[in-house]
């Protein structure tokens, strides 16, 4: 059984597939796997790009939710479990040579395929909603800086509408290679932003000491951190295509382990340093803790916002393809202008829905929303589905089967528990972000 026989969209779950070498597109699924041309170093960079994005900026507030010791330990555990689960998925792909969703179809039937596609779509839409809130906050911060806090004509959430005007033409781009250069620029902007966060938090610790009310374990909100941690490590859509693109795929386990180790260290350093520096004054998006009058802060806010705006079309592409396939099947917009216009309409409606959701959530609930997406969509993709697929396709020994069952059960239990805590935190009024009067610097 092949994807071609069922007309399934091979690109549905391959997030940012444009980054992978095109030489794989012509490979047959009937013979032995062909080798690509990607070196271990480039594969590591591709993996790092999949993992490191805006999620790292939510981690300092997440560290306050979890407590600094609990958060560091949990990040290590999540990184290890993700590495194990991703390697399981690679082994399954060697047995069932199909895309992620079609592996579910072959092993468990059409409802599993639907579950995989739904998780992918929800995760990508959730990421985009969080990104829109993030960018709107940054735009508001930049406006207040340039006007010296004298302009109050537009509420922060209404900047989402301004972002929407820019994004609508971008999400209509179907050839993702067109966005490859902007995507590389976005990576450079993100690296610059993280470097500045390291510098400023270390400088603040050296100058002002540790921030107020640092806790080692937060028994009230620790579960929110778990969802955010899984959100930050979401990159499962690239695991299979990167493996296939490598000239030496046998080196992928070592590449994955080293990359996840470095990424985990980056996450822990940003989270722990920023939380230690700002303490209970930490904001959901840590950039807002940076000094408003600094030119470096303005630069980081602008560049990081541009990076996210350029990333949203790539992030939303899998969800768009899944929904388009649901409506139009195998009909091609290249052969019918009407179909093309209808598919464009679907993409416009989808980004507008993201904007409406972002508008409704608002910045005050951003950390809870990130945790919600991590619990509902990312945990099945990262933990539950790989364990189920490996159990059915690859587990031959009792030890392997027990490991799969443990990973699946732990994933389901963590998803239910963190989802319960996240919903409860929405229902039960919690303390808002600490009031941070950035405009007092202009007094």
Per-residue HEC secondary structure of the chain comes to CCHHHHCCCCCCCCCCHHHCCHHHHHCCCCCCCCCCCECHHHHHHHHHHHHCCCHHHHHHHHHHHHCHHHHHHHHHHHHHHHHHHHHHHHHHHHHCCCCHHHHHHHHHCHHHHHHHHHHHHHHHHHHHHHHHHHHHHHHHHHHHHHCCCCCCCCCHHHHHHHHHHHHHHHHCCCCHHHHHHHHHHHHHHHHHHHHHHHHHHHHHHHHHCCCCCCCCCCCCCHHHHHHHHHHHCCCHHHHHHHHHHECCHHHHHHHHHHHHHHHHHHHHHHHHHHHHHHHHHCCCCHHHHCCCCCHHHHHHHHHHHHHHHHHHHHHHHHHHHHHHHHHHCCCCCCCCHHHHHHHHHHHHHHHHHHHHHHHHHCHHHHHHHHHHHHHHHHHHHHHHHHHHHHHHHCCCCHHHHHHHHHHHHHHHHHHHHHHHHHHHHHHCCCCCCCCCCHHHHHC
Average pLDDT over residues 74-100: 87
Give the DSSP H/E element, type plus range, for residue 114. helix 110-146
CB atoms within 10 A of CB 13: 29
Q: Measuring CA to CA, which residue among 223, 126, 280 is closest to residue 424?
A: 223
**Which pLDDT score is estimated for 236?**
67
Higher pLDDT, 260 or 97: 260
Going by pLDDT thresholds of 50, 70 and 90, the confidence category of residue 30 is very low
pLDDT in tens, 142-172: 888 888 888 888 888 889 999 999 999 988 8
The answer on pLDDT for 241 being more than 90 is no
Higher pLDDT, 235 or 296: 296
**Which pLDDT score is estimated for 1?**
40
Q: Measuring CA to CA, which residue among 362, 363, 374 is closest to residue 422?
A: 374
**Residue-level length of the chain:** 443
pLDDT in tens, 391-420: 999 999 999 999 999 999 999 998 998 888
pLDDT in tens, 121-143: 888 888 888 889 888 988 988 88
For the chain, give the percent of residues with pLDDT over 70: 85
- Using DSSP's 3-state secondary structure scheme, residue 276 falls into helix
CB atoms within 10 A of CB 134: 23
Structure tokens at 81: 């479990």
**Cα separation of 261 and 248, whole Å?**
21
Q: Let me know: does 253 contact 87? Beta carbons within 8 Å.
A: yes
Radius of gyration of the chain (CA): 22
CB atoms within 10 A of CB 30: 7
The answer on pLDDT for 20 being more than 50 is no
Angstrom distances, CA of residue 322 to CA of 208, 316, 423: 50, 10, 27
**Cα separation of 181 and 135, whole Å?**
21
**Which pLDDT score is estimated for 122?**
87
Sign of torsion over alpha carbons 280, 360, 370, 429: positive
The answer on pLDDT for 69 being more than 90 is yes
Q: Which residue has 């829109």 as its token pair?
A: 132
The HSE-up count of residue 412 (CA atoms within 13 Å, CB side) is: 8
Average pLDDT over residues 370-377: 84
Average pLDDT over residues 175-203: 80
Q: Which residues of 266-415 form beta strands (DSSP E)?
A: none
Beta bridge partners of 38: 246
The answer on pLDDT for 18 being more than 50 is no
CB atoms within 10 A of CB 194: 18
**Which pLDDT score is estimated for 276?**
94
- Using DSSP's 3-state secondary structure scheme, residue 246 falls into strand
Report H helices in 172-294.
180-208, 222-232, 239-245, 252-278
pTM over 0.85: no
Beta bridge partners of 246: 38
Going by pLDDT thresholds of 50, 70 and 90, the confidence category of residue 9 is very low
């Amino acid at each position: 059984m092949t994807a071609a026989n069922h007309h399934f969209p091979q690109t549905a779950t391959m997030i940012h597939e444009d980054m992978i070498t095109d030489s794989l597109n012509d490979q047959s699924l009937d013979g032995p796997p062909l080798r690509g041309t990607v070196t271990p170093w480039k594969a590591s960079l591709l993996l790092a790009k999949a993992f490191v994005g805006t999620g790292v900026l939510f981690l300092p507030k997440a560290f306050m939710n979890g407590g600094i010791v609990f958060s560091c330990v949990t990040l290590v555990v999540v990184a290890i479990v993700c590495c194990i689960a991703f390697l399981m998925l690679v082994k399954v792909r060697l047995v069932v040579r199909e895309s992620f969703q079609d592996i579910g179809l072959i092993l468990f039937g059409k409802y599993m395929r639907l579950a995989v596609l739904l998780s992918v779509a929800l995760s990508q839409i959730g990421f985009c909603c969080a990104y829109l809130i993030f960018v709107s906050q940054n735009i508001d911060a930049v406006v207040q800086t340039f006007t010296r806090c004298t302009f109050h004509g537009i509420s922060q959430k209404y900047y989402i509408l301004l972002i929407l005007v820019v994004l609508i033409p971008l999400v209509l781009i179907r050839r993702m290679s067109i966005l490859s250069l902007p995507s590389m620029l976005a990576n450079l902007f993100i690296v610059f932003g993280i470097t500045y966060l390291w510098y400023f938090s270390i400088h603040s610790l050296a100058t002002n000491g540790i921030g107020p009310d640092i806790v080692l374990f937060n028994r009230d909100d620790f579960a929110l951190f778990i969802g955010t941690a899984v959100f930050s490590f979401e990159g499962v859509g690239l695991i299979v295509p990167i493996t296939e693109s490598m000239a030496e795929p046998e080196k992928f386990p070592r590449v994955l382990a080293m990359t996840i180790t470095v990424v985990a260290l980056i996450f822990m350093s940003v989270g722990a340093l920023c939380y230690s520096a700002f303490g209970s004054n930490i904001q959901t998006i840590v950039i807002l803790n940076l000094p408003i009058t600094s030119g470096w802060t303005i630069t980081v806010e602008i560049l990081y916002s541009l990076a996210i705006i350029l990333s949203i079309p790539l992030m939303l592409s899998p969800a768009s393809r899944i929904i388009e396939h649901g409506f139009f099947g195998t009909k091609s917009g290249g052969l019918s202008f009407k179909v093309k216009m209808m598919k464009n309409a679907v993409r416009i409606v989808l980004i507008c829905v993201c904007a409406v959701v972002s508008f409704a959530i608002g910045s005050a609930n951003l950390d809870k929303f990130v945790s919600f997406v991590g619990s509902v969509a990312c945990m099945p993709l990262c933990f539950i589905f790989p364990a189920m697929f490996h159990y059915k396709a690859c587990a031959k020994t009792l030890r392997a089967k027990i490991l799969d069952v443990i990973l699946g059960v732990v994933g389901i239990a963590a998803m239910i528990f963190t989802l319960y805590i996240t919903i409860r935190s929405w229902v039960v009024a919690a303390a808002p972000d600490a009031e941070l009067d950035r405009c007092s610097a202009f007094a």
